[in-house]
Amino acid sequence: MTPSDETSGGATVVSVHERLASEALIVDVDGFEGPLDLLLTMSRTQKVDLRKISVLHLAEQYLAFINQARDLRIELAADYLVMAAWLAFLKSRLLLPPDPADEGPSGEELAAHLAFQLERLSAMREAAAKLMARDQKGRDFFARGIPEDVTRVRRVTYTATLLDLMQGYARIRTRDEFRPFTMDRRYVLTMEEALDRMRHLIGFAGEWADLTSFLPEGWETDPARRRSATAATFAASLELAKAGKVEIRQSDPFAPIQMRRRPQSDG
Amino acid sequence: MADETEESLFEAPPMGEQERMVEAILFASAEPVGIPELNARMPHGADAVEAIGHLRKRYEGRGVQVVKVGDAWAIRTASDLGFLMQKETVETRKLSRAAIETLAIIAYHQPATRAEIEEIRGVSVSRGTIDQLLELEWIRLGRRRMTPGRPVTFVVTQSFLDHFGLESARDLPGLKELRSAGLLDSRPAPGAAEDERDENDEQSDMFEGAAEDDDGGDVFGEEASEPEDADAEDER
Amino acid sequence: MADETEESLFEAPPMGEQERMVEAILFASAEPVGIPELNARMPHGADAVEAIGHLRKRYEGRGVQVVKVGDAWAIRTASDLGFLMQKETVETRKLSRAAIETLAIIAYHQPATRAEIEEIRGVSVSRGTIDQLLELEWIRLGRRRMTPGRPVTFVVTQSFLDHFGLESARDLPGLKELRSAGLLDSRPAPGAAEDERDENDEQSDMFEGAAEDDDGGDVFGEEASEPEDADAEDER
């Protein structure tokens, strides 16, 4: 798909003016924004409505340009070369009679699309120019120079949901139920009480007697009461032993604790 | 000086145009603009003083005013519309736990004195908490309790009912309902079942009367404990 | 809705007062102010739309103008008086040709994907170009295109409209002519794949609705092609 022969043939028919234009394009190749931009600029040399442009002519122009650039050893970006290859293909499509076996789009369709792309690019450039030509803020019209800032007043509102409320209440009531157990005197015999009681009783305990026998009436059966009474009584007996009022003995570990009044003679 | 010759050379724009110009300049300037600057910026022969006079009149009674700031002129918001330049941002916060609990106690036990609230909560209630609830208009002062010291009581308000979507404080679920709804998952303390039932009865009695009776009731009425009976009847 | 009850509850200020209020608010703001904000800042029951209508008429031919910017309103100096404002003129950074063309393509084809911009310009769009336009707040992200890859789209912003004195993207210069010439259709390249054509159909439909529909629309909404029907009708 080397189009060199046809191109050189075509190149002979382009006018001097066009060749000069092409050379100017080559010098300025960096100034183009890609092949489409270059093609659009070239199409201007046809001096016709873009809709009536000769795409074949344009393709030849472009290919000639690429060849010249190659001769001048100008580095061209890959997309310029891709466009050249595509245009060479398009040109062959346009020149050769259509092959009925070929399923692809016809040369005319491809050419029409290229013409459309050029026309659209051109239109968008004009639109861009019109847009920039409009009155612009800060240049032609102006916003308020002393904008008065909206002062923000912050107000805090508090919310709570019904659920919060109910849970809050539930929390308090639950806390009541779990409140650290204030000693229920019904189940507690304090050491003071036990001591009081022992002081009275000990005068009658000349013989060894089990600690349990000193428990108050009614405290021996209920386990909670018995536990409390036993502990208090034991503590009270230790207190009395310390004061030299009683003697305590225990034959084995866990054996019953026994005590008796300390014989007067020893005191 | 050379004014007269120049005036003949340059036709000053009509006063209406000059007024437009002053209007635009004052609007767009970042600072008040003095007469000399106005004259310098306007076409030759324009009279900023006169134009400002007209403009000032034109803005009389409008939403913005042409005002003199020192030696210069500016356009400012009419002073009566200053409120429009404030944007209120409302920040919503969760009520504190102390406040919620205090509120809950008042709602369930109203009318409740501060001492009662403290007794139920087990901690003292700060002045701030009560004030906050008063400010929110969720509680208000109820009747004074006819006990020594005549302590003030607190009751919940209509705003409270509105906020919590209640028709009356008696619509608040009782302890048993809270428990069956899973809001109160503690098992009743052993042997407390009896007490609890009593408490609930008592409690529902307590707040039934309050919401209605305290709305508009006379604050220092003597019959502090009277309305409960009526309500108890309602109940049956 | 609840409007009627509310109207009876809150007496709206007289229209003359409402006009003053709108005047004060628009004067005070350098940025366009939307109707919802105006209504929110004005007293209950006020009708900003009607008040603006009156105000706009009042300022016809004056040195400053009440202008519509997208869905919002602003006061701007009359553009014939720009020459008085050398002092206020802000030197804007010169936009590159690529940026200007990209902006125009987005404005006329919006919502536009990067691929579409590149197809129209025939070159790839550098990251910096899009960034610059985003930074100027002249473009923003629109809805994702519902095509394979769900590419992001770009649309122009209220700041863009404000800067170029446009009421809406429909008022872009030459838009109608471009459309009737078929230059805003993105015509498929001959032999292009099926799905590409679908995308194109959708896109040309999309343009019409875009300006409005994308303002405040949800950016990644699923119903990319839904609102166009109504707009297509407008168009006829």
Distance, in Å, from the CA atom of A186 to the CA atom of A53, rounded to the nearest integer, reads: 114
**Cross-chain residue pair C27–B64, CB shorter than 8 Å:** yes
Taking only the tens place, the pLDDT of each residue in B187-218 is 443 443 333 333 333 343 333 333 333 333 33
In the stretch 14-53 of chain B, residues with CB closer than 8 A to chain C read 19-25, 27-30, 41-42
Taking CA atoms, C16 is separated from A172, B56, B59, C50, C68, in Å, by 57, 19, 14, 11, 20
Q: Which CATH topology does C2-85 take?
A: Arc Repressor Mutant, subunit A (1.10.10)
ipTM confidence score: 0.59
Quick one: average pLDDT of A67-74?
A: 81
B97-235 under CATH 1.10.3720.10, yes or no: no
- The sign of the torsion formed by the CA atoms of C138, C98, C126, A38 equals positive
CA distance A260 to chain B (A): 41
Q: Extract the tokens encoding A8.
A: 């050189």
Neighbouring subunits of B (3+ Cβ pairs under 8 A): A, C
Taking only the tens place, the pLDDT of each residue in C85-142 is 877 777 777 888 899 999 999 999 999 999 999 999 999 888 788 888 888 889 988 8
**Would you kindly state where each structural domain of chain C is located, as residue ranges?**
2-85, 97-235
DSSP string, chain A: ---HHHHHHHHHHS-HHHHHHHHHHHHTGGGS-HHHHHHHHHHHTT-S-GGG--HHHHHHHHHHHHHHHHHTT----HHHHHHHHHHHHHHHHHHSPP-TT--SPPHHHHHHHHHHHHHHHHHHHHHHHHHHHS--BTTTB---SS--PPEEEEEEEEE--HHHHHHHHHHHHHHHHTS-----GGG---HHHHHHHHHHHGGG--S-EEGGGGSPTT-SSSHHHHHHHHHHHHHHHHHHHHTTSEEEEESSTTSPEEEEEPPGGG-
- Average pLDDT taken over every residue of chain C: 78
Look at residue C52 and tell me whether its pLDDT is greater than 50. Answer: yes
User: At CA C101, angle to CA C98 and CA C103, rounded to 5?
Assistant: 105
- Catalogue the long-range contacts made by B7-11 (C-beta closer than 8 Å, 24 or more residues apart): B7/B45, B10/B43, B10/B44, B10/B45, B11/B45
Nearest to A155 among B29, B90, B164 (CB): B90
**Cross-chain residue pair A33–C98, CB shorter than 8 Å:** yes
**Cross-chain residue pair C190–A110, CB shorter than 8 Å:** yes
Q: What is the pTM of this model?
A: 0.57
Nearest CA in chain C to A107: C190
Look at residue B186 and tell me whether its pLDDT is greater than 60. Answer: no
Please report residues of C whose CB lies closer than 8 A to that of B81: 20-21, 24
Taking CA atoms, B224 is separated from B147, B213, B234, C42, C92, in Å, by 10, 10, 18, 48, 78
Q: What is the DSSP letter of B226?
A: S
Taking only the tens place, the pLDDT of each residue in C135-189 is 888 998 888 888 888 888 899 999 999 999 999 999 999 999 999 988 998 777 7
pLDDT computed for residue B214 by the predictor: 38
Considering only CA atoms, give the Rg of chain B. 35
Of residues A210 and B59, more confidence is placed in B59
Taking only the tens place, the pLDDT of each residue in C32-50 is 999 999 998 898 889 999 9
Distance, in Å, from the CA atom of C125 to the CA atom of C116, rounded to the nearest integer, reads: 10
Nearest to B28 among C20, C24, C85 (CB): C85
* Domains B2-85 and B97-235 equal at CATH topology level: yes
CA distance B81 to chain C (A): 7
Considering only CA atoms, give the Rg of chain A. 57
CA distance A181 to chain C (A): 57
